[in-house]
Amino acid sequence: MSHPVRAPRLNNNDDDVRLTEVSVRVGDHVTAGQPVAELETDKANVAVEADRSGYVLRILAEADTMVKVGSVLLWIGDSPNDTVPDESSGQEVARPSESGEPTAKARILLARHGLNAADVPARGGRLTAEDVEAYVSSRTLRAAAPAPAPAPAARMAPMASGRLTPLSMEDRAMLRSVLWHRDEAVPAYLEIDFDQQRWEEYSKAYAADRRLLGDPLLGLIAQRLGAIAHDHPKLNTTIVDGARHVYDHVNLGFTIQAHEQLYLVVIHEAETKEPHKFIEALNRLHRKAIARQLRPEDLQGATVAFSSMARWKVNQHVPILPPYVSMMVAHTVSADGRGVLGATYDHRVLSGGEAVMVLNRLSRPPE
Amino acid sequence: MHDVQDARDRIRRKIMELAQALGRDGSKLGDDQLIPQSGLLDSASLMMLIVWYETEFGISTENEELTIDNFGTINLMVDYLRRHQ
């Protein structure tokens, strides 16, 4: 089924608004909350977000044009083969209710127990694995009679007083990440000690050779991760609708802290970049982050990711997987100088052995 | 063209501010002392210094110009400024 993404009303006065950018292409897979376009008002640029995950089927509006509030900017389909209504008829497809729509883990459990989603009550807006497990447990305990539907859990709320404030765009993006990690992936973590000194010597020699101002160590390690992902395509895949989605390119996500904000900037097509070009691209993104000039495309499309907390000398950090990323490497150097390479990986895609193989390869600089 | 001493002082103050954020004392940094080797700033802070420098003095730098030879010391940063203003 296809669903329209419409130009929102941004204020009471303007029935037309300038569309400055469309940041997706037909065929792209988008996740709920992902920016797909940008509108401009007198006061600010506003991102238009996809309200559901799916595939971009058709784009009806062009960048740098005026669009009517409420008009359809693009269509998103549940599958890439969905059709969109005839534009001339102006008919829209009613959006089905999302109540009870199961998460990926819930769908697995439903299939395992031979259940229909419609039979299992959802305590929240989506049917979760916990809902299915609770339903199955109640049926097991009352095997002699049909299990009554469990009462929906009371909505949780903080016990201490306070006030609600809206989340920033960055906060919403982080929330989407952690929810994808929890609801879709099957995350596992492992780590290895490694000889940081070998990498430091390699990095120092590299920097001296090119008279670099900054230490390129983390960029070099991340570039190496991109090369490993290119050599091992399974690392550069994810699961979509029960099938393996093999990415065309390695888009290396790299965490950067700028001001009080954590960003995952993305170096696209990392496998095509020699180390010096990769580091240039990373530096460019870092500068944009500090100058608050990052664009949506700078933050989208990661296929494998890298993070370092060596700056803070932590002993261990267990990263959250960004949406549709099957491995995120966590680098750190503890206060006593111990180098650690850890990785959170999606166990639907990779085994522990495969994750360890990647870390072992990454622990050594190129010959 | 900004007064040379004024530019030098502003750059020094910024370096000290960034070093202080890392718990380090930059007050003894010499004008010809290599900043990356001083241990005062890490890579992230060096990048903040460059972005500040561009904004403060109204010039833009290309990635390939971010070298020790152009920005390695306070005096080199002042010289770069003189060449590009």
The answer to the question of residue A91 being in a domain is: no
| DSSP code of residue A9 | P
Q: Is the pLDDT of residue A119 over 80?
A: no
Q: Among residues of chain A, what percentage have pLDDT more than 70?
A: 88
Q: Supply the CATH number for residue A55's domain.
A: 2.40.50.100
Crossing angle of the two packed helices A217-231 and A352-362, in degrees rounded to 10: 130
Average pLDDT, chain A: 86
Statement to judge: residues A258 and A109 lie in one domain = no
The answer to the question of residue A156 being in a domain is: no
Closest to B80 in 3D by CA, of B4, B29, B26: B4
The answer to the question of residue A231 being in a domain is: yes
Q: How far is A211 from chain B (nearest CA, A)?
A: 5
Q: Identify the residue among B35, B49, B68, B70 best suited for mutation to test binding to A, counting A beta carbons within 10 A and taking the highest.
A: B68
| Average pLDDT rounded to a whole number, residues A192-196 | 95
CB burial of residue B64 (10 Å; 0-12, 13-18, 19+): exposed
Can you give the pLDDT at residue B50? 96
Domain ranges of chain B: 4-84
| Residue that wins the pLDDT comparison between B2 and A48 | A48
- Partner-chain residue, chosen from A211, A217, A290, that has the shortest CB–CB distance to B48: A290
A214 interaction partners in chain B (CB closer than 8 Å): 36, 43, 46-47, 66
Can you give the pLDDT at residue A178? 92
Helical residues (DSSP H) of chain A, grouped into ranges:
104-113, 129-141, 169-183, 196-210, 217-231, 275-290, 352-362
Can you give the pLDDT at residue A31? 84
Interface contact B68-A212, CB threshold 8 A = yes
> Is the complex ipTM more than 0.85?
yes
Q: Is the pLDDT of residue B83 over 80?
A: yes
Q: Is the pLDDT of residue A106 over 90?
A: no
Interface contact B44-A286, CB threshold 8 A = yes
CA–CA separation, A32 and A29 (whole Å): 10
* Structural domain B4-84, CATH architecture: Orthogonal Bundle (1.10)
- Partner-chain residue, chosen from A211, A256, A291, that has the shortest CB–CB distance to B51: A291
The reply to whether B34 touches chain A by the CB within 8 Å rule is no
Please tell me the total number of residues recorded for chain A in this structure. Answer: 367
The reply to whether B68 touches chain A by the CB within 8 Å rule is yes
Confidence of residue A103 (pLDDT cuts 50, 70, 90): confident
CA–CA separation, A73 and A22 (whole Å): 9
Q: Is the pLDDT of residue A92 over 70?
A: no
Q: How far is A332 from chain B (nearest CA, A)?
A: 15
Q: How far is B53 from chain A (nearest CA, A)?
A: 11
Closest to B45 in 3D by CA, of B25, B18, B65: B18
Least confident stretch, A34-38, A194-198, B29-33:
A34-38
Can you give the pLDDT at residue A135? 81
Confidence of residue A170 (pLDDT cuts 50, 70, 90): confident
CA–CA separation, A104 and A137 (whole Å): 20
Interface contact B64-A218, CB threshold 8 A = no
| Average pLDDT rounded to a whole number, residues A127-134 | 84
Q: Is the pLDDT of residue A86 over 70?
A: no
Least confident stretch, A90-99, A219-228, A347-356:
A90-99
The reply to whether B62 touches chain A by the CB within 8 Å rule is no
Least confident stretch, A167-171, B15-19, B70-74:
A167-171
B47 interaction partners in chain A (CB closer than 8 Å): 214, 283, 286-287, 290
Span between the terminal Cα atoms of chain B, in Å: 6
What pLDDT, in 10s, does the model give residues B57-82? 999 898 889 999 999 999 999 999 99
The answer to the question of residue A315 being in a domain is: yes
Can you give the pLDDT at residue A284? 95
Can you give the pLDDT at residue A99? 43
- Residue A111 lies in domain: 101-141
Are A67 and A96 in contact, with CB atoms under 8 Å apart? Answer: no
Q: How far is A225 from chain B (nearest CA, A)?
A: 20
Rg of the Cα atoms in chain A: 23
Can you give the pLDDT at residue A95? 33
Interface contact A212-B46, CB threshold 8 A = no
Crossing angle of the two packed helices B43-57 and A275-290, in degrees rounded to 10: 60
Instruction: A95-100: list long-range contacts, CB under 8 Å, 24+ apart.
Output: A95/A3, A96/A1, A98/A52, A98/A125, A98/A126, A99/A125, A100/A126, A100/A127
B-facing residues of A in 250-289 (CB < 8 A) are 256-257, 280, 283-284, 286-287
Statement to judge: residues A116 and A225 lie in one domain = no
A217 interaction partners in chain B (CB closer than 8 Å): 43
Statement to judge: residues A80 and A114 lie in one domain = no
Q: Supply the CATH number for residue A123's domain.
A: 4.10.320.10
Can you give the pLDDT at residue A84? 84
Can you give the pLDDT at residue A252? 98
Statement to judge: residues A199 and A328 lie in one domain = yes
Can you give the pLDDT at residue A157? 82
Q: Is the pLDDT of residue A196 over 50?
A: yes
Crossing angle of the two packed helices B74-84 and B4-21, in degrees rounded to 10: 130
The answer to the question of residue A149 being in a domain is: no
What pLDDT, in 10s, does the model give residues A234-277? 999 999 988 999 999 999 999 999 988 899 999 999 999 999 99
Confidence of residue A51 (pLDDT cuts 50, 70, 90): confident
The reply to whether B75 touches chain A by the CB within 8 Å rule is no
Instruction: A83-87: list long-range contacts, CB under 8 Å, 24+ apart.
Output: A83/A2, A83/A57, A84/A2, A84/A57, A84/A58, A85/A2, A87/A60
Can you give the pLDDT at residue A97? 33
Q: Is the pLDDT of residue A141 over 60?
A: no
Interface contact A214-B46, CB threshold 8 A = yes
| Residue that wins the pLDDT comparison between B24 and A170 | B24
DSSP output for A311-357: GGT-S---PPPPTT-SEEEEEEE-TT--EEEEEEEETTT--HHHHHH
If one counts the domains in chain A, the total is 3
